[in-house]
Amino acid sequence: MLQPNEPVIRLKAQQSPTPEQVQAACDSPVLAQLLLQRGLANVDDIHRFLQLDDYTPTGVEALPDWPKSLERLARAIDTQEPILIFGDFDVDGITGTTILYQCLKLQLGANVTYYIPHRHTEGHGLNTAALLKLVSSRQLKLVISTDTGITNYDEVHLLNSFGVDCIITDHHDLPESLPPALGILNPKLLDGEHPLYPLSGAGVAYKVCQALLAHYGKAELADELLDLAAIGTVVDMVPLVADNRHLVWQGLKRLGKNRRLGLKALLESAGTDMDAPITTTTLGFVIGPRLNAVGRISHASEAVELLITDSFEVAQTAAARLEQMNRQRKTMVEEAVVQATAHLTASGDLSVHKAAVVCSPAWNNGIVGLVASDLVGRFNRPAFVGTVEPEEGVIKFSARSIDGFDLHAALAPLADMFLRWGGHAGAAGFSIKQTDLAKVKEALFAVCDAKISPAQMRPVFYADMALCPDQINEGFLALQDMLEPTGMDNPSPVFVMSDVALSAARRMGSDEKHLQITVQGAQSGRYLKGVYWNWGADTPLPASSSSTPMAAMAFSVQRNTFNGKTTPQLMLKHLSANQSALPDTVPLPDIPLPAVPLPDVSASTKAAPLTRPSAPVGQVEPMAPMAPMAPAEPSDSVVTWIDHRQHPHSDGLFSQMMQACQAPSPPSRWAIYCQGSQHYLPFATLADWVWPGTDALAEAGWPEALPLELILWDLPPGPAQWQAVLAYARQAIEGAEGMPLTVHLVGGKYRHIPLVRPATTYLDGLWRLLMRCRSTRPNQPVPLGYLTHALATTPDVVWGGLACLERLDPLAGVLQVITETADVDDVGEAGEAGGAEAIRIVLPDGVAPVVFDETDSAMAALMRCPAWQQFNGALGQVHRFRQQMMTAPLSVLESVGAESHPASLCGPDAATAAVRFA
């Protein structure tokens, strides 16, 4: 082959953000750098990007022809003139057609029908034969196009000759001569920096309908069209900036809370997790291909019918048909790619030319563009794929390009050889006479060979920054979420990683063409899983070894949810053992979570305001590196640690131990560290031995009689709480009068419940606990220590959760959370874990029920607030600490609590004793 298929990984310039930029980026240097790489350096621009709630979109009124277009549309609606919507057969045209039809017909009651041309027999644009038939049969008075029409000068002139007015809504580049339409609503008429300039066809249709509905006093109905506008915008791959990004953000919110029947049926037929949030990935890789498939295999009007139906049965039937056609489309593409690859290999063209040119009468015209895209990815050169139509003596080509090679500019000098052609830098299409194939093929080879350099034929991955395994965690995902929605011109970040070993690799998928890997950090030992789509069923598996570093990985990071547990997953773009494939990079320092201030309560209250914790969330001291550590110097008192964390039968073991403990003369003194509910204890309720207690016992504090056996059934939520456990063990040693202390490290609860659960679950738990306290202890403050113990979490999580509750509808503006100083007698010694602080909530009666569902609009709005990022980040700290507690060597766990903690956490005047782990 002419050029090896070895990619180039280029690290983007690592700019240093200013303090002002960091502050605007939620106090995150990493987020500030990612924004700089997206051209967002101005503080105001950063704020507008991150705070989409504050973004002010631009209306269609900015387009010069809107006033006369509005007047003509309103007249047609009011007088019931026959209107035709003329769309296109791609997803942008399908959604644009549906938006206009739903608005004009279903919301405003206009006399309107729609028409979408057939991909294979009519092609793009206004079609003369179709227009003549429709004007005659439907007595049309007005035609409005969507996602098409801007180049149809002759067709619009024909409509005018029949007395039919035409309004063009389109977003494609302007021709030299604009069609003589009554109104042209195309954002390309505006300056290139205008916020409407990058709109898609569906985006233009939405803006038109939004203004039209406002004209009729029905502005609120425009929200019902947002989902369609988002789909068209994402799938058409227009820049996701300015109004486009805001429009998609609004559409995703709409999809999260109110999915139309057709889309719900489509997602179900695709096997999508219906509880998972809808993202731009869902739009681009689940919904988009299925809507596109119907236009490639059958007729796009079937997709419009799916999107507008209010019948469950119709939606189910149509969705099943689209799913079947999408599978058929996949099979057709795969077969064509195999045939094209075999032909190109046999011909030897790839060995001498910098283009792939291939055609066949067996290939459907609707898939040749997809085949061309696949060939570009395989062979790293422009691909020209054609379908032969022998009866017409014509070959219709679809072309796709590589970075840096402008197809439109390259084909322009060859225009005389084409019957019809068009396109842009990355994609093009043209038709030729079948008898001209040989000379056209040679001309394509000549222009590509002359203009493409060898360097252009190597795929390039532009990485935003280098990461190490320990940096990829819940806090990192929270930062990455702030870039959403992502897409064209606002892509998901790409990262590189080195100093990792490939510990496992296996094939996946029914055809085994995908790859799943597990990598391990060379320094930290942390494992991460990754997926490489389309690795190739015939591509050898990479050699896995726990000691062999992979020199180059380029990847993005996504959430992977399985059995209710969400973890980061690497989506690999490149995997190589070639040292030269990785750019020179320096690993970044630990990524801090965004630290944002908690709000003050209403100024009307005279109680102490709600304040943030002394240390910013996300800045909790991390656990020591997972490396062996020398034992501390031995002392006269010895504590023996027994590790049960990986014991498969620990439940039964401790049941037997507790039976002995309950005997009339127990063999020893015991204490059990157990937070939250006792539901997960595998033995009887042991109130006399539980420390520091369950909900009812949390205020009992530390046992006065120091134990000789300490069972750590639960895992402490953070380093401070772990240090308190060790300090208590030291107290026990001092009071044991030379008798040894045995500590059992179990973590038993976390064999029965997941370590990581959705943040909404924790917020719901906090709210339920507060409501229970409000009913059982009316008008009394709730000790902070009680809340942290009952919820088995840290003060940071409680503070963050309270801030979220104050912002969540219907509590926003109604709920007040204030802090007070509780009486020592009321708090008891449980205040040791949270100081003497106590929480009092002020909430009037009659507040609507609170919904903790991510698909609910109020919760979706909360999850975009900085307070949610803080809460989620604090939970991430707890999750990570407990995950390490379940796996870290005992010597490492000792190092976390090697220094004595303040007396407020360890008990009064707790002496520090040397602890040796046996």
Note whether residue 255 is domain-resident: no
Write down the pLDDT at residue 909. 27
Which residues on neighbouring strands pair with residue 670, listed in sequence order?
Answer: 709
Q: pTM surpassing 0.85? A: no
- Preceding peptide of 664 cis, ω within 30°: no
Q: Give CA 830 to chain center in angstroms.
A: 40
Please tell me the distance from the alpha carbon of residue 472 to that of residue 280, in angstroms, as a whole number: 21
Range of the domain at 647: 639-753+887-906
Q: How many domains does the chain have?
A: 5
3 state SS of 811: coil
- Average pLDDT in the 70-78 region? 97
Write down the pLDDT at residue 461. 78
Residue where a domain stops, chosen among 564, 581, 598: 581
Q: Where does the pLDDT of residue 601 fall: very low under 50, low under 70, confident under 90, or very high at 90 and above?
A: very low
Most confident of 35-44, 70-79, 258-267, 524-533: 70-79
Q: Give CA 402 to chain center in angstroms.
A: 27
> What 8-state DSSP symbol labels residue 456?
G
- Preceding peptide of 810 cis, ω within 30°: yes
pLDDT reading at 644 higher than 60: yes
Note whether residue 795 is domain-resident: yes
More confident residue, 464 or 908: 464
Q: Report the 10 Å Cβ neighbour count for 834.
A: 23
266-317 pLDDT, tens per residue? 999 998 878 778 999 999 999 999 999 998 889 999 999 999 999 999 999 9
More confident residue, 661 or 537: 537
Write down the pLDDT at residue 258. 79
More confident residue, 639 or 380: 380
Kindly state whether residues 484 and 574 are assigned to the same domain.
yes
Q: How many residues does the chain have?
A: 918
Write down the pLDDT at residue 111. 97
Write down the pLDDT at residue 717. 84
Q: Mind giving me the DSSP string for 463-523?
A: ESEE--GGG-SHHHHHHHHTTPSPBTTBPPP-EE--SEEEEEEEEESTTS-EEEEEEEETT
The residue assigned the tokens 């419940």 is: 753
pLDDT reading at 144 higher than 70: yes
Residues 6+ apart with CB under 8 A from 234: 240, 248, 280, 283, 284, 288, 485, 487
Kindly state whether residues 230 and 155 are assigned to the same domain.
yes
Most confident of 308-322, 713-727, 733-747: 308-322
Write down the pLDDT at residue 308. 95
Cα Rg of the chain, angstroms: 32
Report the range of poorest mean pLDDT among 353-367, 391-405, 568-582.
568-582
Kindly state whether residues 774 and 815 are assigned to the same domain.
yes
Report the range of poorest mean pLDDT among 124-128, 479-483, 561-565.
561-565
Please tell me the distance from the alpha carbon of residue 247 to that of residue 280, in angstroms, as a whole number: 12
To the nearest 10°, the Cα dihedral for 217, 218, 220, 226?
Answer: -130
Q: Are 818 and 607 in contact (CB under 8 A)?
A: yes
Q: Are 12 and 38 in contact (CB under 8 A)?
A: no
Write down the pLDDT at residue 733. 60
3 state SS of 504: strand
Q: Where does the pLDDT of residue 903 fall: very low under 50, low under 70, confident under 90, or very high at 90 and above?
A: very low
Please tell me the distance from the alpha carbon of residue 607 to that of residue 841, in angstroms, as a whole number: 11
- Average pLDDT in the 412-431 region? 88
Note whether residue 289 is domain-resident: no
Q: Where does the pLDDT of residue 233 fall: very low under 50, low under 70, confident under 90, or very high at 90 and above?
A: very high
508-524 pLDDT, tens per residue? 877 788 888 888 776 66
Please tell me the distance from the alpha carbon of residue 462 to that of residue 496, in angstroms, as a whole number: 9
pLDDT reading at 729 higher than 50: yes
Please tell me the distance from the alpha carbon of residue 49 to that of residue 482, in angstroms, as a whole number: 9
- Average pLDDT in the 440-447 region? 96
pLDDT reading at 320 higher than 50: yes
- Average pLDDT in the 622-631 region? 29
- Average pLDDT in the 571-581 region? 69
Kindly state whether residues 419 and 535 are assigned to the same domain.
no
Note whether residue 617 is domain-resident: no
SS (H, E, C) 390-423: CCCCEEEEEEECCCCCCHHHHHHHHHHHCCEEEE
Dig out the tokens for 94 from the structure: 């399908």
Please tell me the distance from the alpha carbon of residue 340 to that of residue 372, in angstroms, as a whole number: 10
Kindly state whether residues 422 and 515 are assigned to the same domain.
no
Write down the pLDDT at residue 703. 45
pLDDT reading at 153 higher than 60: yes
Kindly state whether residues 700 and 804 are assigned to the same domain.
no
Write down the pLDDT at residue 587. 35
Which CATH number characterizes residue 575's domain?
2.40.50.140
Task: Categorise residue 738: left if φ over 0, alpha if ψ from -120 to 50, beta otherwise.
Answer: left
Kindly state whether residues 669 and 811 are assigned to the same domain.
no
Note whether residue 281 is domain-resident: no
- Average pLDDT in the 754-774 region? 77
Q: Are 190 and 63 in contact (CB under 8 A)?
A: yes
- Average pLDDT in the 760-782 region? 81
Cα torsion angle, 23, 24, 26, 31, sign: negative
- Average pLDDT in the 596-605 region? 27
Residue where a domain stops, chosen among 178, 204, 239: 239
More confident residue, 269 or 5: 269
pLDDT reading at 326 higher than 80: yes
Note whether residue 303 is domain-resident: no
Q: Where does the pLDDT of residue 484 fall: very low under 50, low under 70, confident under 90, or very high at 90 and above?
A: very high
461-481 pLDDT, tens per residue? 788 988 888 788 877 888 888
Q: Are 470 and 19 in contact (CB under 8 A)?
A: no
Q: Are 100 and 209 in contact (CB under 8 A)?
A: yes
Please tell me the distance from the alpha carbon of residue 340 to that of residue 358, in angstroms, as a whole number: 7
* Helix%, strand%, coil% for the chain, nearest 5: 40, 15, 40
Q: Where does the pLDDT of residue 167 fall: very low under 50, low under 70, confident under 90, or very high at 90 and above?
A: very high
Write down the pLDDT at residue 466. 87
Note whether residue 735 is domain-resident: yes
Report the range of poorest mean pLDDT among 96-105, 254-263, 681-690.
681-690
SS (H, E, C) 424-442: CCCEEEEEEEHHHHHHHHH
Tell me the C-alpha to C-alpha distance, in Å, between residue 224 and each of 100, 213, 629, 677, 812.
12, 11, 61, 44, 25
Note whether residue 310 is domain-resident: no
3 state SS of 427: strand
Closest residue by Cα to residue 125 from 157, 154, 87, 158: 87
811-829 pLDDT, tens per residue? 887 887 777 755 434 433 3
Write down the pLDDT at residue 337. 94
Which residues on neighbouring strands pair with residue 690, listed in sequence order?
Answer: 672
Please tell me the distance from the alpha carbon of residue 591 to that of residue 595, in angstroms, as a whole number: 12
Which CATH number characterizes residue 72's domain?
3.90.1640.30
pLDDT reading at 610 higher than 70: no
Cα torsion angle, 731, 734, 736, 742, sign: positive
The vertex-684 CA angle with 679 and 690, nearest 5°, equals: 80
868 membership: H or E segment, kind and range: helix 866-887
pLDDT reading at 243 higher than 90: yes
More confident residue, 484 or 724: 484
pLDDT reading at 78 higher than 50: yes
Residue where a domain stops, chosen among 537, 558, 581: 581
Tell me the C-alpha to C-alpha distance, in Å, between residue 24 and each of 18, 42, 451, 874.
10, 9, 44, 20
Kindly state whether residues 848 and 901 are assigned to the same domain.
no
Kindly state whether residues 453 and 468 are assigned to the same domain.
no
Kindly state whether residues 416 and 519 are assigned to the same domain.
no
Mean pLDDT of the chain: 78
3 state SS of 694: coil
Report the range of poorest mean pLDDT among 57-61, 352-356, 661-665.
661-665
SS (H, E, C) 170-185: CCCCCCCCCCCCCEEE
Please tell me the distance from the alpha carbon of residue 326 to that of residue 402, in angstroms, as a whole number: 26
Kindly state whether residues 777 and 694 are assigned to the same domain.
no
Closest residue by Cα to residue 124 from 308, 365, 289: 365
More confident residue, 45 or 737: 45
Kindly state whether residues 69 and 206 are assigned to the same domain.
yes
Write down the pLDDT at residue 872. 87
Please tell me the distance from the alpha carbon of residue 750 to that of residue 95, in angstroms, as a whole number: 47
Most confident of 144-148, 568-572, 675-679, 840-844: 144-148
- Average pLDDT in the 213-238 region? 96
The strand pair at 465-466 and 460-463 is best described as unpaired
Write down the pLDDT at residue 527. 81
Write down the pLDDT at residue 750. 58
